[in-house]
Structure 1
Amino acid sequence: MAARESQGLQIAVILLVLLVAALGITTYVFYAANDKSKLDAEAANQRAQEEQGRSRTYLAERNELKVMIGHSEETPMDEIQEAFGDDMKTFVADEGAQAPTVQNYRQVPGVMQASVIKLEKQLADSLRANTALRAEKVALENTYQTKLSEAETSRDNALAAQAEAEKKMADDRKSLEAAQAKLQDEKVKLQGTIAQTIDGSKKQVDAANKERDQAMDLVEAFKVSLKEKEPKVGDVPDGRIIWVNQKEDNTWINLGTSDLLRPQMTFSVFEKGEVNIALATVKGKIEVTRVNGSNEAEARILEEDVTNPIMPGDQIFTPIWSPGVAQKFAIVGMIDLDGDGEDDTDDLRNLIQSSGGEVAAWVDAEGNINGELTPEVRYLIDGKTPTEKTAAAVLTAYSQMREMARQNGVELIQVSRLQERMGWQSTERLVRLGRTSRLEELEAEAERERDFKPRRPMSAYDN
């Protein structure tokens, strides 16, 4: 009995030892796994902190880059990409290309430098062309001097021939008178001889005078041609463009009420810095629509070259008006402003008066000269020359007006040249249609055009 109890106790002790050993092993295993989990968690936390640091660095660098290219830190990327595309199209788009070849900001300075070099080359080419034109002008002046010398020589020869013919006629007359005293019986025959001699001498004189007049007409024609190419007194810019709204086709100029500027006055536009208006090329035309103040007015663009648009600083000029001064004009010949074959003298008078000028003299349809042509008149506006079918009174008035202009030193100007230099344009307009044009807008615009009132002279009481 005692042996069995001892054996049972041994078995219990053995089982307890095994249980303790198993518990120790299990505890060690779980403890080791817990240490490994802690180490893994600490490593993962370290990596997360490093990633957060890199993320913060990346965000700071990205925000700094946004500011460097001109945006705020809050600007979204799609807006930045859209602005980048617009900048590339604006500054580095190739001519005729659908999209720019440059795709980053670092290349923009190089592309713009190339554009500057190209523009400088174009400027140099323009300067060379200007030098060639000046040389051509010198050649024309030399030709004029040569022709003038030839005309003067022809005139001197004609005068010498006339003097010689008159001397010969006087000698013949003395000889005939002496022969008449001695030979009374041959009086009839000698008188006939004298008559024939005088008639022949007169024909020679008439021929010489005609040749002289033709030479003088040629000289006058050359003088007129040369004067049209030289700067005229008063041919200086009247003002300048101070701002342009290309979208609305509007401009603002530095003239106003203090200059006696009126609405509906038209001007030609020339390049900034142009000093010789008489030889300059017109780059556009404008019409005053509203006078805003003493030195400011608004105008609409009538005509311009899209390759050389009107820009701030460009100069404006009209030959029929100067700031604060009304220029005087005279009109002669058949005036056809719109090419319809009808005389538009009254329309031209209204146009000059509405633009601040004054018509001092003109010829009406019956050939009457109205007003007086004095040295104060700046130009005699020359229309089409009357033909043989024109009334005699009109022909006479035409010749008289031109002769009065010559005697008073008044310069001739063709009506087409005057229209160009004063910036006048026909009221017919070209309507450009775009993708956003709508029929109802075009019809409304046409209705407003039908209600447009023709230009008329403004009185001193008009605002």
Structure 2
Amino acid sequence: MASKPTALHFSLIFFVMATLILGVLLYVTFDEGTKLRAEVDQKTKQAGDEKAQARQYLDSITDLKDRIGYSKIAKVGAADDTGIDSVIGSMNDDIKKLGGPEARGNSYAETLRAMKTKSDNLNSENIHLKQKTAELEDKFLKALTKHYTEIVSEHDKAQQKAEKERSTAVKDKDREIEVRDNENKKLQVTTNNLQGELKKSQDDHEDLKKKSDKEKTQLESINDYLTDAVRKRERITYDRPDGLVRFVDNDSGLVWINIGRADKLTTRTLFSVYRQTHRGVGRPSAPANTGDNNEATDNADDRFSPGLEEIKGSIEVTRVIGAHLSEARILKYDIYDPLQPDDLIYTPLWAPGRPAAFAFVGLIDFDKDGASNRRELHEMIAGIGGKIIHEVLDDGSRVFFTEFPGKSHEYAEEDPKIDLGIKYLVIGRIPDLSDSGTDEEKQAHRQIIAHHKAMISEARKTAVRRINLSDFLAHIGYVPQRRLYVPGLVDRPFNLKSGATSQSTGGTVGERSSSGKVSSLFTRSKRLKKQPVSSGTTSKRFQPGN
């Protein structure tokens, strides 16, 4: 009996069919994979061949770029490229620029062949030109040689003629030289004789000059001595008073003078006041050519220097009131001869409308206290508009003021000398070398003495008036502001005297020795009627041997 299909049968059938289907699929898949692998291998081989061929092409392109000189340009470019950033563009640019209009081709090869053809043609032309140049040079050389040969021939003839003439001239010249030598020998003898006579004449002239200079110096000394003697005796002056005193107030110590703003008067101007019966203002008291102030200052009165007795006082302008009126304070006066109206006033420092100029040499010491008053002198002269042109300083240097008192320089030969523009050459104390303490002082004093001598000579030649410092101070009405006593400075006119008190000012000093008496206030016994007197003996206790 037939049995019915079961699940097992269906499972077996399904398994068999699945196995068959899987086998078919595996077969089909394996067959297609084999074909695909074959195709892949073929494509891989083809790609490798193409890559090798491409690498070969790149190497060929690189070699080509190196060959044509553009190995550094990466881009090859197209055929119509004209930019120089590609190889083909650079080649096109080279063809255009280097080939020129005649040798330019459509390619590098055509251009190079055209350039080669052109170069060959130029070489042929160059060879032809060289041959022609050589022919011309040969012709020119032959013509030049012929020309120079003719010139040399003419020159030789001229040279022979010149040598013949020179020989004749030399013979004539030798004869002239011989004649001249003979004349020179005669002249030399004459010259020697004349030189001897000239030497004798020069010696005689030198002796005469020395004798004349000596006599001239003696005559100048005599003239200076006589001039100073006359000046000392006559004391002539050509100065005129500057004004006069109009009113006097002795209680307030003020005076009023007849010069003022219209005369360009300035305050602080000093004037000396003269008596109405004077014999001339500005008269000197002593000769000033030596700068010796002894005669003008030794034993001087406390008021004025000798020879200046006509000066009765001095004033200083304190206020300019009007055109011809000014107020001044009295600096010095004589109680026995007081200032009064119509007394004349004078100062060498001031002149109406123009500044006065001076030259100074020597040490400047107003009150003989050993200290220099040069700064005070500058302030006094500059304060009223005056000026100093030439000055010898304390260190011995001579200076020239271009703008007083601020600008000056050491005197040089090209600077102006003392001339008529200088009103006075004021001579201070000329030091003595024996008074010099140090080598520096001695050197400075030597220079002062030398400058003093030179400036005296300059002033004498230009007739500039010379005046010593004491006269100058008296004429300007200078009054010392203080009187300082310096112990040991014996040349002061007001030294204190040692000794007992005198009975009057300037009187004789009495005996200062002790009488030996002791006051009774200091005795042991107040009952003693007589003061003890020293016997002058010394106690034996203090004798030698005790």
| TM-score calculated relative to the size of structure 1 | 0.46
Structure having the larger proportion of residues in helix: 1
